[in-house]
Structure 1
Amino acid sequence: MSVVLSDIPVVDASAEVSSLRPPALWTMPLYTGSIEALEAKEQALAERLTGIASRFFRARFATSLAAEDMVLTDAILRGNEGVRAGIRVFTLNTGRLHAETLAVLDKVHAHYGYVIEQFTPDAEAIENYVRRNGENAFYDSVDLRKTCCGIRKVEPLNRALSHADAWMTGQRREQAVTRSELPFEEMDDARGIPKFNPLADWTEAEVWAYLTRHNVPINALHAKGYPSIGCEPCTRATKAGEDVRAGRWWWESKDSKECGLHEQNIKH
C-alpha cells in the first residue's frame, strides 16, 4: 500500500519542547528613569529617616531581609550618626525561614559591622500548635495560617516593639491590592505607636536600582525568581508577569494576603 505524505501527521517539535519548558520566572526589573530622579528619591528617603530618628528616641525597623528592607537597612546603616543610632534594626526569625534568608544576617554583619537583633517565637506556643493542628496546618485554612503567623510573627513583633515609640516597615503601595492606599505615616492602633512606610511611593524598579547602585547585600533567592520572601513553606518563586507577592501564601485569595503584622491593610 502506498503512503501519501500529506496523510502523515506533522508534529510541531518546537511547540512540544515549549510545553515542556518551565515558565519564565520573575527577574529584577529594569530601571528606565534618570539618575537625577533616583538621587532625588534617595535624598527624600534620607530626609524621611532623619525626621523619624529626630522625632522618636526608640524607633525600630522590622526587616524581612528581602529587597525593600535591604534598601532601608542600607539607608539606615550608611546614614548619619543620628539615623544609625536612633533607628534599631531587628528581624523576626520564625523558625521556618530559608537558609538563604538567614545568610543575609551574616552578610549585613560583614558589610556594615552591624548585628541585626533576632526575635523568635515562643517554643511552647509552637509545640502546642503543631500538636493540635499539624506542622503544616497553615495550608488547611486561612484561620490556621493566621494562627501560625500570629505565633511566629505577631507575638515576637509585639515583644520587639514593647518599648518602641515608633516603628518602620519596607511596605510599598505597588506590592499588593491590600497596600494600594498605604500612607507614609499612620497610627498602629494595635500597639498605640506611629508606624512609618518610608518606601510607600517607591516603585519596584527604583528599589532594584538602589540596591544595584549601592552594591547592597541581598537575599540569594531573588536570583531564583523570588521578589517577595517569607517563611519557606509559604513562599514560592513567582512567574514573570505575576504580582510581586503572588508567591506569598499562593493558595489563598490575593485580597487576604497579610500575616497580621499589617492587618490594618485589609479593609473589613
Structure 2
Amino acid sequence: MNVEVLRRIGGGTPAERLAALRAAVPGRIVFTTSFGIEDQALAHLIFTARLGIEVATLDTGRLFPETYELWAETEARYGVRIRSFHPDASALAAVIADSGINGFYFSKAARTDCCFVRKVEPLNRALAGASAWVTGLRADQSEEREGVALAGWDDERQLVKLNPLFDWSRGQVAAFCAAENVPVNALHAEGFLSIGCQPCTRAVRPGEHERAGRWWWETDEARECGLHVGADGKLVRTRVAA
C-alpha cells in the first residue's frame, strides 16, 4: 500500500477529493454506480469535471424498472455510455439450479451465493487492472457502515478505495442533487432509500435506517451483498492516518 498516496487525498469537498485521487493515482480509476442518490451525485461530479474516471455498473438482471430508466436518463443527460458488467451465465444457472429462482428468501447461504454471482464476481471483473475504486459509501448509512473512512487500501483487490461522500449525510447528498438538477431514482420518493435488486429491496418504515429495506427478511443486522466485505465476511473499514 502506498500510504503517502492515500495521505495526499485529504479533506475538502467530494469534487476536490476526486480530483486529488486522479492526481495522486496513475492508471485506471473505476467508479461503480448502482444509480442510488449518492452514486448519482458522484457521477455528476465525474462527468462534468471530465476527470477521466471510468464509470461502470453491475447489471444483476433483477433491477427495478425505475433503475433501468434512470440509467438511460443519466446517459442521455451527460452524453455518455456507462459500461455494464453482467453475471456469468453458467455460474448463474448453477445457482438457480441449486437454490431455485428465489432461493435467497429461504437460505442465507443461497442469498450470499446469489449476490456473489450477480454482483461480486462482475465487480471483480470491472475492477481488474484498476489502480483505484471510487464508491458512494457513507458512514451514516447503517450501523455496519459507521466506520467507513475517506480512503483506504483494498487488500483483496490490491487497489486504492475512495469514498468521497463518507462524511456526508443523506440530506446533504439530496440537497446537492436538487441544487445541481441531478436525476435521481423515482423510487426514493416512495421510501426506497437504498435500492438494489427488486426482489431484495423494500421501502423503509419510519424510524428505520436507510438500508433496512435491503434483505429485510434476514434477522442479523450485518446485511451486505459482499461488494465491500473482506474474506471474514465483515465490512472493510481500512483507515489511513493523516
Q: What is the CA–CA distance in structure 2 between the aligned matches of 1:141 and 1:243, rounded to whole Å? A: 24
Look up the match of 1:240: 206
Aligned partner (choices 15, 19, 32) of residue 62 of structure 1:
32
Quote how far apart the aligned CAs of 1:267 are.
Answer: 6.1
Q: What is the CA–CA distance in structure 2 between the aligned matches of 1:232 and 1:254, rounded to whole Å? A: 20
Q: What is the CA–CA distance in structure 2 between the aligned matches of 1:154 and 1:124, rounded to whole Å? A: 15
For 1:1-268, list aligned pairs within 5 A: 44-56=13-25, 57-79=27-49, 81=50, 83=51, 85=52, 87-264=53-230, 266=234
Structure 1: give runs of 5+ residues left out of the alignment: 1-41
Q: What is the CA–CA distance in structure 2 between the aligned matches of 1:96 and 1:248, rounded to whole Å? A: 14
Letter in 2 for 1:47: E
Q: Is the 8 A contact 1:255 1:266 kept in 2?
A: no
SS in 1 for 2:224: coil
Q: What is the CA–CA distance in structure 1 between the aligned matches of 2:142 and 2:219, rounded to whole Å? A: 12
The list of structure 1 runs, each at least 4 consecutive aligned residues, that deviate by more than 4 angstroms after superposition, is none
- How many matched pairs? 223
Quote how far apart the aligned CAs of 1:255 are.
Answer: 2.8
Q: What is the CA–CA distance in structure 2 between the aligned matches of 1:115 and 1:105, rounded to whole Å? A: 9
Name whichever structure is richer in helix by fraction. Answer: 1
Quote how far apart the aligned CAs of 1:241 are.
Answer: 2.0
Q: Is the 8 A contact 2:36 2:194 kept in 1?
A: yes
SS in 1 for 2:125: helix
Alpha-carbon RMSD across the aligned residues, in angstroms, is 1.6
Letter in 2 for 1:51: A
TM-score by length of 1: 0.80
Q: Report Cα offsets for 1:85-107 as digits up to 9, x if no partner.
A: 2x111000000101110111111
Q: What is the CA–CA distance in structure 2 between the aligned matches of 1:161 and 1:266, rounded to whole Å? A: 20
Q: What is the CA–CA distance in structure 2 between the aligned matches of 1:152 and 1:204, rounded to whole Å? A: 27
Structure 2: give runs of 5+ residues left out of the alignment: 1-10, 237-242
Provide the identity percentage. Answer: 45
Quote how far apart the aligned CAs of 1:233 are.
Answer: 0.3
